[in-house]
Amino acid sequence: MPRAVKLAPSILNADFSNLYREIKAVEKYSDLIHLDIMDGHYVPNITFGPIVVKAIRKITDLPLECHLMIYNLPEWVEEFVEAGADRISFHLGACRDCEGLIRTIRAIGASPGIAISPVVPVFEADCYLPIVDFVVVMCVYPGFGGQELIPEVLERVSAIKRKAASLGTRVEVEVDGGVKTENLRQVVSEGTDTVVVGSSIFSSSDVEAAAKKIREMLNDAASCSPEV
Ligand code: DX5
Ligand code: ZN
Protein backbone atom coordinates (compact mmCIF):
# COMPACT_ATOMS: atom_id res chain seq x y z
CA MET A 1 0.00 0.00 0.00
CA PRO A 2 1.40 3.45 -0.86
CA ARG A 3 1.99 5.72 2.09
CA ALA A 4 -0.76 8.33 2.20
CA VAL A 5 0.70 11.77 2.83
CA LYS A 6 -1.79 14.08 4.49
CA LEU A 7 -2.45 17.59 3.24
CA ALA A 8 -3.10 20.32 5.79
CA PRO A 9 -3.81 23.67 4.14
CA SER A 10 -2.85 26.64 6.32
CA ILE A 11 -5.38 29.45 6.00
CA LEU A 12 -2.87 32.13 7.05
CA ASN A 13 -2.79 33.52 3.52
CA ALA A 14 -6.45 32.85 2.75
CA ASP A 15 -9.01 35.56 2.02
CA PHE A 16 -10.35 36.19 5.52
CA SER A 17 -13.31 38.10 4.10
CA ASN A 18 -14.64 34.77 2.84
CA LEU A 19 -13.24 31.90 4.86
CA TYR A 20 -16.25 29.76 4.03
CA ARG A 21 -15.49 29.87 0.31
CA GLU A 22 -11.76 29.36 0.89
CA ILE A 23 -12.17 26.31 3.12
CA LYS A 24 -14.85 24.75 0.92
CA ALA A 25 -12.52 25.13 -2.09
CA VAL A 26 -9.81 22.97 -0.50
CA GLU A 27 -11.90 20.62 1.62
CA LYS A 28 -12.13 17.61 -0.65
CA TYR A 29 -8.37 17.50 -1.26
CA SER A 30 -7.43 17.93 2.38
CA ASP A 31 -7.08 15.78 5.48
CA LEU A 32 -7.12 18.55 8.04
CA ILE A 33 -7.06 22.35 8.26
CA HIS A 34 -4.03 24.03 9.83
CA LEU A 35 -4.79 27.15 11.87
CA ASP A 36 -1.87 29.40 12.83
CA ILE A 37 -2.52 31.09 16.16
CA MET A 38 -0.14 33.99 16.90
CA ASP A 39 -0.17 36.33 19.88
CA GLY A 40 2.23 39.12 18.89
CA HIS A 41 4.62 38.04 21.69
CA TYR A 42 5.97 34.61 20.87
CA VAL A 43 6.05 35.71 17.23
CA PRO A 44 5.94 39.22 15.76
CA ASN A 45 2.47 38.81 14.29
CA ILE A 46 -1.11 38.43 15.53
CA THR A 47 -3.73 36.26 13.88
CA PHE A 48 -6.89 35.05 15.59
CA GLY A 49 -8.15 33.19 18.65
CA PRO A 50 -10.78 30.69 19.77
CA ILE A 51 -13.73 32.75 18.45
CA VAL A 52 -12.56 32.32 14.89
CA VAL A 53 -11.67 28.65 15.46
CA LYS A 54 -15.26 28.15 16.65
CA ALA A 55 -16.59 29.79 13.49
CA ILE A 56 -14.36 27.61 11.30
CA ARG A 57 -15.60 24.56 13.20
CA LYS A 58 -19.05 25.29 11.74
CA ILE A 59 -17.71 25.43 8.19
CA THR A 60 -16.04 22.03 7.95
CA ASP A 61 -16.03 18.55 9.43
CA LEU A 62 -12.31 18.14 8.71
CA PRO A 63 -10.10 17.89 11.78
CA LEU A 64 -8.79 21.29 12.89
CA GLU A 65 -5.21 21.65 13.99
CA CYS A 66 -4.27 24.71 16.03
CA HIS A 67 -0.58 25.52 15.69
CA LEU A 68 -0.10 27.68 18.75
CA MET A 69 2.62 30.31 18.45
CA ILE A 70 1.70 31.90 21.76
CA TYR A 71 2.83 32.18 25.38
CA ASN A 72 0.62 31.43 28.41
CA LEU A 73 -0.22 28.07 26.87
CA PRO A 74 -1.80 26.40 29.93
CA GLU A 75 -4.31 29.26 30.08
CA TRP A 76 -5.40 28.80 26.48
CA VAL A 77 -5.33 25.18 25.37
CA GLU A 78 -8.72 24.33 26.84
CA GLU A 79 -10.35 27.28 25.08
CA PHE A 80 -9.01 26.11 21.74
CA VAL A 81 -10.21 22.55 22.33
CA GLU A 82 -13.64 23.81 23.40
CA ALA A 83 -13.72 25.91 20.23
CA GLY A 84 -13.26 22.75 18.18
CA ALA A 85 -9.54 22.05 17.81
CA ASP A 86 -8.82 18.33 17.31
CA ARG A 87 -5.04 18.67 17.31
CA ILE A 88 -2.93 21.16 19.22
CA SER A 89 0.74 21.86 18.67
CA PHE A 90 2.85 24.30 20.63
CA HIS A 91 6.45 25.43 20.58
CA LEU A 92 9.16 24.09 22.82
CA GLY A 93 10.50 27.25 24.39
CA ALA A 94 7.06 28.84 24.78
CA CYS A 95 6.27 26.68 27.77
CA ARG A 96 7.86 25.81 31.15
CA ASP A 97 6.25 22.41 31.65
CA CYS A 98 5.97 20.86 28.19
CA GLU A 99 5.30 17.37 29.50
CA GLY A 100 2.47 18.61 31.70
CA LEU A 101 0.97 20.54 28.80
CA ILE A 102 1.12 17.51 26.50
CA ARG A 103 -0.71 15.47 29.12
CA THR A 104 -3.30 18.23 29.60
CA ILE A 105 -3.99 18.46 25.86
CA ARG A 106 -4.56 14.71 25.71
CA ALA A 107 -6.69 14.70 28.87
CA ILE A 108 -9.04 17.33 27.45
CA GLY A 109 -9.59 15.26 24.34
CA ALA A 110 -7.19 16.62 21.72
CA SER A 111 -4.17 15.15 20.00
CA PRO A 112 -0.92 16.74 21.25
CA GLY A 113 2.03 17.77 19.11
CA ILE A 114 5.17 19.83 19.48
CA ALA A 115 6.54 22.30 16.97
CA ILE A 116 10.23 22.92 16.47
CA SER A 117 11.37 26.24 15.07
CA PRO A 118 14.51 26.18 12.87
CA VAL A 119 16.48 27.93 15.66
CA VAL A 120 15.69 25.24 18.24
CA PRO A 121 18.03 22.22 18.30
CA VAL A 122 16.12 19.16 17.13
CA PHE A 123 17.34 16.98 20.04
CA GLU A 124 15.21 19.11 22.39
CA ALA A 125 12.20 17.20 21.06
CA ASP A 126 13.65 13.77 21.87
CA CYS A 127 12.27 13.30 25.36
CA TYR A 128 8.73 14.15 24.20
CA LEU A 129 8.60 11.74 21.26
CA PRO A 130 7.07 8.89 23.30
CA ILE A 131 4.22 11.06 24.57
CA VAL A 132 3.20 13.20 21.58
CA ASP A 133 1.21 12.16 18.51
CA PHE A 134 3.00 14.45 16.07
CA VAL A 135 5.96 16.76 15.61
CA VAL A 136 5.80 19.88 13.45
CA VAL A 137 9.13 20.51 11.74
CA MET A 138 9.10 24.16 10.86
CA CYS A 139 11.02 24.94 7.70
CA VAL A 140 10.56 28.71 8.04
CA TYR A 141 10.82 31.08 10.98
CA PRO A 142 7.42 31.12 12.70
CA GLY A 143 5.29 34.21 12.20
CA PHE A 144 4.50 34.67 8.53
CA GLY A 145 3.32 32.78 5.50
CA GLY A 146 4.97 33.00 2.12
CA GLN A 147 8.58 32.47 3.21
CA GLU A 148 11.11 30.25 1.43
CA LEU A 149 11.65 26.76 2.84
CA ILE A 150 15.05 26.38 4.55
CA PRO A 151 16.31 23.17 2.89
CA GLU A 152 18.86 22.29 5.60
CA VAL A 153 16.04 21.78 8.10
CA LEU A 154 14.35 19.05 6.09
CA GLU A 155 16.70 16.31 7.26
CA ARG A 156 15.12 16.77 10.72
CA VAL A 157 12.15 14.74 9.49
CA SER A 158 14.12 11.52 9.04
CA ALA A 159 16.21 12.27 12.14
CA ILE A 160 13.05 12.47 14.26
CA LYS A 161 11.69 9.28 12.70
CA ARG A 162 14.94 7.44 13.49
CA LYS A 163 15.07 8.77 17.02
CA ALA A 164 11.46 7.74 17.65
CA ALA A 165 12.20 4.24 16.33
CA SER A 166 15.24 3.97 18.61
CA LEU A 167 12.97 4.84 21.54
CA GLY A 168 10.53 2.14 20.47
CA THR A 169 7.84 4.56 19.36
CA ARG A 170 6.42 6.12 16.20
CA VAL A 171 5.52 9.72 15.66
CA GLU A 172 3.79 11.55 12.83
CA VAL A 173 6.01 14.24 11.35
CA GLU A 174 4.49 17.29 9.75
CA VAL A 175 6.44 19.81 7.66
CA ASP A 176 5.27 23.41 7.96
CA GLY A 177 6.50 26.40 6.00
CA GLY A 178 7.55 27.09 2.45
CA VAL A 179 6.10 23.92 0.93
CA LYS A 180 5.14 24.32 -2.73
CA THR A 181 4.93 22.24 -5.88
CA GLU A 182 8.63 22.84 -6.65
CA ASN A 183 9.86 21.21 -3.42
CA LEU A 184 7.02 18.82 -2.59
CA ARG A 185 8.80 15.68 -3.79
CA GLN A 186 11.86 16.50 -1.73
CA VAL A 187 9.70 17.14 1.35
CA VAL A 188 7.86 13.85 0.95
CA SER A 189 11.03 11.87 0.24
CA GLU A 190 12.26 12.64 3.78
CA GLY A 191 9.43 10.49 5.15
CA THR A 192 7.04 13.35 5.93
CA ASP A 193 3.55 12.23 6.97
CA THR A 194 1.74 15.56 6.68
CA VAL A 195 2.49 18.67 4.66
CA VAL A 196 1.20 22.10 5.61
CA VAL A 197 0.70 24.29 2.55
CA GLY A 198 -0.35 27.91 2.94
CA SER A 199 0.45 30.56 0.37
CA SER A 200 1.11 28.07 -2.41
CA ILE A 201 -2.61 27.25 -2.23
CA PHE A 202 -4.32 30.38 -0.92
CA SER A 203 -2.28 33.00 -2.78
CA SER A 204 -3.06 31.20 -6.01
CA SER A 205 -5.61 32.75 -8.40
CA ASP A 206 -7.44 29.39 -8.41
CA VAL A 207 -7.40 28.04 -4.85
CA GLU A 208 -9.25 24.83 -5.64
CA ALA A 209 -7.01 23.96 -8.60
CA ALA A 210 -3.91 24.64 -6.47
CA ALA A 211 -5.13 22.29 -3.71
CA LYS A 212 -6.05 19.63 -6.28
CA LYS A 213 -2.60 19.84 -7.86
CA ILE A 214 -0.84 19.40 -4.51
CA ARG A 215 -3.13 16.47 -3.65
CA GLU A 216 -2.32 14.76 -6.95
CA MET A 217 1.39 15.34 -6.49
CA LEU A 218 1.23 13.89 -2.98
CA ASN A 219 -0.55 10.81 -4.26
CA ASP A 220 2.07 10.38 -7.01
CA ALA A 221 5.00 10.93 -4.68
CA ALA A 222 3.61 8.52 -2.12
CA SER A 223 3.19 5.77 -4.68
CA CYS A 224 6.94 5.90 -5.44
CA SER A 225 8.27 6.36 -1.91
CA PRO A 226 8.98 3.59 0.61
CA GLU A 227 6.97 2.90 3.73
CA VAL A 228 8.67 4.85 6.56
C1 DX5 B 1 4.27 30.13 9.80
C2 DX5 B 1 3.11 29.17 9.82
C3 DX5 B 1 2.93 28.31 8.61
C4 DX5 B 1 2.78 29.07 7.35
C5 DX5 B 1 2.56 28.19 6.15
O6 DX5 B 1 4.46 30.66 11.07
O7 DX5 B 1 3.23 28.30 10.91
O8 DX5 B 1 1.82 27.45 8.82
O9 DX5 B 1 1.74 29.95 7.40
O10 DX5 B 1 2.42 29.02 5.05
P11 DX5 B 1 3.38 28.91 3.78
O12 DX5 B 1 3.04 27.61 3.13
O13 DX5 B 1 3.01 30.10 2.98
O14 DX5 B 1 4.81 28.95 4.27
ZN1 ZN C 1 1.77 26.69 11.03
Average pLDDT, the chain: 96
Q: What's the gap in Å between 87 CA and the centre of ligand 2?
A: 12
Residue 179: CB within 6 Å of ligand 1?
yes
Q: What pLDDT band is residue 228 in, cutting at 50, 70 and 90?
A: very low
Q: Give the active site residues.
A: 36, 176
pTM, two decimal places: 0.96
What topology is assigned to 6-223 in CATH?
Answer: TIM Barrel (3.20.20)
**Is the CB of 146 inside a 6 Å radius of any atom of ligand 1?**
yes
Q: pLDDT tens-digit profile of 22-53?
A: 999 999 999 999 999 999 999 999 999 999 99
Ligand 1 atom closest to the CA of 146, numbered from 1: 13
User: Sign of torsion, CA 69 10 107 77?
Assistant: positive
Residue extents of the structural domains in the chain: 6-223
Q: How far does residue 143's CA lie from ligand 2's centre (Å)?
A: 8
Instruction: Give the gyration radius of the chain's Cα atoms.
Output: 16
pLDDT per residue as tens digits for the range 159-204: 999 999 999 999 999 999 999 999 999 999 999 999 999 999 999 9
Give the pLDDT confidence score for residue 4 in this predicted structure.
Answer: 86
Measured by CA distance, the residue closest to atom 12 of ligand 1 is 198
β-sheet with 172-176: strand ranges across: 6-9, 194-197, 172-176, 134-138, 111-116, 87-91, 64-69, 33-38
- The one-character DSSP state at 149 is P
pLDDT of residue 122: 97
**Residue 13 beta carbon below 6 angstroms from any ligand 1 atom:** yes
Give the number of whichever ligand sits closest to the CA of residue 11: 1
